[in-house]
Amino acid sequence: MKDKTGVAFRYVSKDGDDGFPGNVKAGVTYTLTDGNALLIDYEATTDKATPINLTQHSYFNLAGEGNGDILSHEIMINADRFTPVDKNLIPTGELRPVKGTPLDFTTPTKIGARIDDGYDQMVLGHGYDHNFVIDPKPDQNGLKLAARVHEPASGRTLEVWTTQPGVQFYTGNFLDGTVTGKHGHVYKRRYGFCLENAAFSGLAESSGLPEHDFEAGRGVQIEDGV
């Protein structure tokens, strides 16, 4: 981290940990740039074939921490397909167009505009908790724009860029007021949102989308930027 502002973490998951094969050496580095960007770089290696799918689960509220829900935030997700889930919120293997559904964020839309719609996926997820297939065209230094979020009252805007093929959009549907955060603020339902860049899970090989199973000796490197 010489000449940089950030922190690096390392972790070793031993062969058989949680039932997964391989000694996995994983790391993540968080770097804050002079341009007010947060870079998140992941890396991992394994000595046996094993699934590796690294991401992060930061909550954001652009109105400011403790300032209510995120339903008035406007979001654009750079994706025209998503991966539907079953009753256990596990991807079914289907790829479904977002057009004509409450999951169409190809143009900026308030998060709360359709969050309680009776569409089957909204009922199953109790809101948004879905993986979107990012437009694969890189736009910036090999990174793809995954999503852009704007909060009208504060004027704050968040952009998320990644080398990963998908982004999981989660709207804090299971926050229930039992978590107390900074300054004693209680985090209630939908008081934060997450944008988790990752590979796909539960998809058939015929989907043509990237898998996240890695052979022995193979490494993975991932870069995100917000």
Which residues are known catalytic residues?
57, 196
Report residue 43 as tokens: 């890396």
For the CA atoms of the chain, what is the radius of gyration?
18
DSSP-derived 3-state class of residue 80: strand
CA 34 to chain CA centroid, Å, is 24
Whether the CB-CB separation of 103 and 128 falls below 8 Å is answered with: yes
Q: How many helices (H) and strands (E) does the chain have?
A: 1, 17
Largest CA distance in the chain: 52
**What DSSP state is assigned to residue 177?**
S
Look at residues 159, 134, 144 and name the one whose alpha carbon lies nearest to residue 210. Answer: 134
